[in-house]
Chain A
Amino acid sequence: MVDAASVEVTRMDVLKKVPVREQEPEIRAKNFDEVCLGYNEEEAKAEAARCLNCKNAQCMKGCPVSINIPEFINKVKEGEFAEAYKIIGKSSALPAVCGRVCPQESQCEGKCIRGFKGEPVSIGKLERFVADWARENKVEPEAPAAPNGKKVAVIGSGPSGLTCAGDLAKLGYDVTIFEALHEAGGVLVYGIPEFRLPKQTVVKAEIENVKKLGVKIETNVVVGKSVTIDELMNEEGFDAVFIGSGAGLPKFMGIPGENANGVFSANEYLTRSNLMKAFSDEYDTPIVAGHKVAVVGGGNVAMDAARTALRLGAEVHIVYRRSEEELPARVEEVHHAKQEGIIFDLLTNPVEILVDEKGSVRGMRCIRMELGEPDASGRRRPVEIPGSEFELELDTVIMSLGTSPNPLISSTTDGLDTNKHRCIIADENGLTTKEGVYAGGDAVTGAATVILAMGAGKAAAKGIDEYLSTK
């Protein structure tokens, strides 16, 4: 670990970000503690001083929830951290989460003027610092408006649901979140690992802040099964409903051997480790640690699964059919994964999972790929190289190929239409085809990011408020 005092923030290069302290790769590869240690006050102030305080702030245009970035950074520069927190809090209910998991490089930081010549301001790390400082110094979120007597049900306690609920509670609505699992947080608790997003200190604390606004959370309610949307509206008195039920069912490749013991979806592997805490001996849920693991896919979820398997003691390969340039994961995640010793088998695609006589994985037959002409996504299409098949010896395969929408809610709600991808149809205000019912996040867009889901939750809160104010 780099000693905080040794970071020379005073004589730094103004074109470069103040470096953020991290656990050393060889140490963190063996534990589940957070990789990034974040800025301290001095580092944060020094980084904030790099902000040009642009009048026409481009960074804000890159933020799906439109945080007033120059204003909060200016407060950090002045050491007014509580003030900075209030400014962020006006736009985001989950700053400690977003500061950690947002793809800033393609959002706020991607638009930062500093970035044209040198590195952009480290907006994400500053946001994280402010949120962590506020939590450690027990700064309370602002008080909600007086109750307006109207009830809103929010389905799902992930990023979109928490944001929608928080915004509505601030406006005086009586909000109840219904969560299917036994823990609130959605993907923040079942999907993103502890070493990227600490559950107890960060996620729980931000959810507590949403509850302090008066939001109630009822866990273990599977909407569509335990109760329907129509029952919520007609029998339980909810005036409007927001659906933020998330992404859904994991995809598999459909290759031979995929149902062998030792083949998991990334969702299963991560749920066991993150939600059920199978990595800890204190918890009862088992997880297969694996000796040699292949993770198929190249997104953030694939990186999370790979780095989890590594921490459980395995040699881990990322198997991805395109090249490094096309990896959908954030650059920072790929960088961290490589530092920790994840092996990248790029331009490689599985064709069969090899199974032993007991029904367990013994390997994977793969084929080498090359990039051909661009496909519909604009990326060059991977094409098989004939005769290039080879075998990887493995005991565990984790499929990280994305998800398809869960029909639990759409199939049990009359008048709620879905598109050809079976995602719920909603307009830019989140309004679905059913009156009073709004939706946002992955349930509408298919798998995307935490911050886009929050943006959708925010838009829907505004839509619901306008609808119920005029009703």
Chain B
Amino acid sequence: MYTITKARQLADKIFLMDVKAPRVAKNCYPGQFIIAKIDEYGERIPLTICDYNREEGIITIVFQVVGASTEKMSYMKEGDAFRDFTGPLGMPSELVNEDISELKNKKILFVAGGVGVAPVYPQVKWLKENGVDADVIVGAKTKDLIILEDEMKAVSGNLYITTDDGSYCRKGMVTDVIKALVNEEHKTYDVCIAIGPMIMMKFVALLTKELGIKTIVSLNPIMVDGTGMCGACRVSVGGEVKFACVDGPEFDGHLVNFDEAMKRQQMYKTEEGRAMLKLKEGATHHGGCGQCGGN
């Protein structure tokens, strides 16, 4: 069992947990993910690592309620435990393997959308610890959905926050901020790391391609085992099929086929919807769907 040593709500439907998982904490790096399973009946839920403490053997995860399993997870409290917690999975962020002195000469821009702040945070923190300041754009729908602001402020060079509705800091999309930084403030960047909703990553990648900035994105497709065994997480990158769990989760954003990836994310929408119904109302079938044949 893997005990939750801390649990707190960050925003509506967004939660943070510290989980005791010494083997994961010992060998993990920014960019990698874990798989958590609540109990015997639970799904294997992949989540990118938000922070880690090697000495205490703690992994921090942040998740948003998007389906029945994450909803169930949101009810878990400090002292509760996951039946299973495995990792680190996937490849560490490219930055981790780069020469520090070379990194110091690079202009790095991070773009974090919504809950994507969580996987961006450990990368910015890692850079800070190695003496590299990076610019960070954080975007959210509205003020209340901005998470980990203080934490991010402490590790980033310049932090630019924007909200879709203008309720906090700037108003507009993250792409508007990129445009403003590059076109108006005449900033240059060697690399952009964008993590957030698939649609955001798609549009950031389209823009940075235009601007000529190399862009890395982190994908979170549907997965089962997370070790390369099932191929559920396959994505087309530059016309080649890659498995996000072993080849990724980070890929060249200019090569990812986002439209296909977004369609694949919808695969279990109906099943997920039914699972939510079951969780909330104790039944999955309310008739009239014309799809399920009464099952």
Contacts and interface: CB of A to CB of B under 8 A. Distances in A.
B206 interface: no
Interface in B270-295: 271-272, 275, 284, 293, 295
Interface residues of B, number: 45
B63 interface: no
B58 interface: no
A276 B43 contact: yes
A252 B241 contact: yes
Nearest to B89: A225
Interface in B3-34: 23-24, 26-27
B229 A267 contact: yes
Given A283-B41, A359-B263, A250 B27 contact: no
Nearest to A245: B227
Interface in B40-73: 41-44, 68-69, 72
Contacts, number: 123
Nearest to B230: A268
A316 to B, nearest CB: 17
B231 A220 contact: no
Contacts of A285: 43-44, 224
A171 interface: no
A259 B260 contact: yes
Contacts of B42: 284
B268 interface: yes
A454 to B, nearest CB: 20
A181 B224 CA distance: 10
Contacts of B241: 252, 254, 258-259
A445 interface: no
B78 to A, nearest CB: 21
Interface residues of A, number: 44
Given A180-B227, A226-B27, A264 B232 contact: yes
B240 to A, nearest CB: 10
Contacts of B228: 248-249, 406, 408
Nearest to B236: A259
B19 to A, nearest CB: 12
A163 interface: no
A160 interface: no
A358 B270 CA distance: 14
A222 B68 contact: no
A281 B284 CA distance: 10
B263 A286 contact: no
Most chain A beta carbons < 10 A, residue from B263, B266, B272: B263
A151 B272 CA distance: 45
A254 B234 CA distance: 12
Contacts of A288: 267-268, 271
B224 A276 contact: yes
A196 interface: no
B231 A226 contact: no
A272 interface: yes
A343 interface: no
A219 B41 CA distance: 17
B268 A181 contact: no
B243 interface: yes
Name, among B27, B42, B228, B234, the residue most crowded by chain A CB atoms within 10 Å (CB to CB): B228
Interface in A116-140: none
B17 to A, nearest CB: 17
Contacts of A313: 293, 295
Interface in A230-259: 248-250, 252, 254, 258-259
B249 interface: no
Interface stretch (B79-87, B145-153, B159-167, B191-199): B79-87
A286 B268 contact: yes
B27 A181 contact: no
Interface of B: 23-24, 26-27, 37, 41-44, 68-69, 72, 83-89, 224-225, 227-232, 234-236, 241, 243, 246, 260, 263-264, 266-268, 271-272, 275, 284, 293, 295
Given A222-B87, A226-B26, 20 more contacts: A180-B225, A180-B227, A190-B225, A220-B84, A220-B86, A221-B23, A254-B241, A259-B235, A261-B264, A261-B267, A262-B267, A264-B231, A267-B230, A276-B43, A284-B41, A284-B72, A286-B268, A286-B272, A313-B295, A408-B228
